[in-house]
Amino acid sequence: MSNTWGETASLTIFGESHGPCIGAVLDGIPAGVSLDWQAVSQEMRRRAPGRNELSTQRREHDVFSVESGFFNGFTTGTPLCVRIANEDQRAEDYARLQHIMRPGHADYSGSVRYGGYNDYRGGGHFSGRLTAPLVFAGAVAKQILALDGIAIGAHILQLGNICDRRFCSLGKDKALFGRLSQNALAVLDPTKEEAMEKAILQAKRDGDSVGGIVECMITGLPAGMGDPFFDSVESKLSHMIFAIPAVKGVSFGDGFALAAMTGLEGNDSFYYDDGGRVRTRTNHNGGINGGITNGMPVLFQAVIKGTPSIAKEQDTIDRSSGTNCKLSVPGRHDPAIVQRALPAVEAAAAWTVLDIMLTAKSGRPYDGK
């Protein structure tokens, strides 16, 4: 089992949903970076549960404690360790689920993989609770990337059967990401917000859940970042994005819509702008050619499935008795995870890009150039 990801900037995540704490170790962070902890806290609040009736009522404030790697207002260059206490634990809610496997969860696969020694309470290490330290790491990465003029933002492209409009793939609105980050339901078309809220609340009343799609954009990346084949930008981003629980699909640019396009329609023609920079007139390929950035915004979508913990009765198995049984999962669960997964998608993208950039800089002091 590997809980560490990254080549130059490595991230290790630890903890369980109903253990004493969760946290992360961020290694490879350059020395001498001043970090705004209030901005990090704001990112954490975007993901935190219990904010409103659209999410689980488990109340975790996600207050973090930086244990190492930061001194006198700057990063030290040594591992940055963060600890986040679990405040609202109800381990007793899961006592009967030790042997009854929740459909859609990692209960069965995890139990087989670890011989029954896995922490089954709330999914243990498989829980979406572990996205909190990921969001912390992404918030740190965003501030470092900003020194290079790189920004990352996302919106809810789809929730159930309700669709928002897509990002302008050329990334012209520089203030857009900041506006989106302030909204409980981050959408580009404000008229879609009410319909999405109603869909979430209806799923909650039905004892069910609803899925969706998060669209993420990375602006400011220079051309020439990444490698072909196994270490392509798409490969690295997909690797990290799929680490987020509930992500079941990732596509870049126009994604699967490219299947219906001709080569001419799917190509992005080049031109020199007034400043002599190479640009493309369209961005069907999401800012990546041959696994390497071309200087246009990197654009991708992540499919988020409906929360598998639902009150509706489902068929499952009891491994202790070797029998089939029925299960409903009452309690505090998200009727939609899309809006809380959104900052995790941004965070995963930020850490991936930071690793790519620091690898390209070969460990030189980070001066934003």
> With 90 as the cut, is the pLDDT of residue 339 above it?
yes
Amino acid 299: pLDDT: 98
Residue 107 in domain: yes
pLDDT digits (tens, 9 = 90+) for 287-323: 999 999 999 999 999 999 999 999 999 999 999 999 9
Averaged pLDDT for residues 71-84: 97
CB 112 within 8 A of CB 318: no
> With 60 as the cut, is the pLDDT of residue 58 above it?
no
Say which residue, 58 or 192, is predicted with more confidence.
Answer: 192
Query: Each residue of 271-288: b (16+ CB within 10 Å) or e?
Result: eeeeeeeebbeebbbbbb
Averaged pLDDT for residues 198-207: 94
Averaged pLDDT for residues 137-145: 98
Say which residue, 91 or 36, is predicted with more confidence.
Answer: 36
Residue 102 in domain: yes
Q: Cα dihedral sign for 39, 42, 46, 48?
A: positive
Residue 168 in domain: yes
Residue 169 in domain: yes
Amino acid 363: pLDDT: 46
Q: What is the mean pLDDT of the chain?
A: 91
> With 90 as the cut, is the pLDDT of residue 334 above it?
no
Q: Which residues are annotated as a binding site for NADP(+)?
A: 47
How many domains are there within the chain? 1
Closest CA to 346 of 155, 102, 174, 152: 152
Q: What is the CATH number of the domain that holds 347?
A: 3.60.150.10
> With 60 as the cut, is the pLDDT of residue 364 above it?
no
C-alpha torsion angle, residues 327, 330, 333, 335 (rounded to 10): 80
For residue 56, what are the CA distances in angstroms to 48, 88, 119, 221? 10, 12, 21, 36
Residue 219 in domain: yes
Structure-token pair, residue 68: 């190492």
% of the chain exceeding 90 in pLDDT? 79
Q: Which residues are annotated as a binding site for FMN?
A: 125-127, 290, 305-309, 332
Q: Which residues are annotated as a binding site?
A: 47, 125-127, 290, 305-309, 332
pLDDT digits (tens, 9 = 90+) for 145-197: 999 999 999 999 999 999 999 999 888 787 899 999 999 899 999 999 999 99
CA distance 357 to 146: 12
Residue 68 in domain: no
pLDDT digits (tens, 9 = 90+) for 19-54: 889 999 999 999 999 999 999 999 999 998 656 566
Residue 183 in domain: yes
Residue 354 in domain: yes
For residue 365, what are the CA distances in angstroms to 6, 8, 160? 18, 13, 45
| Structural domain span for residue 343 | 91-363
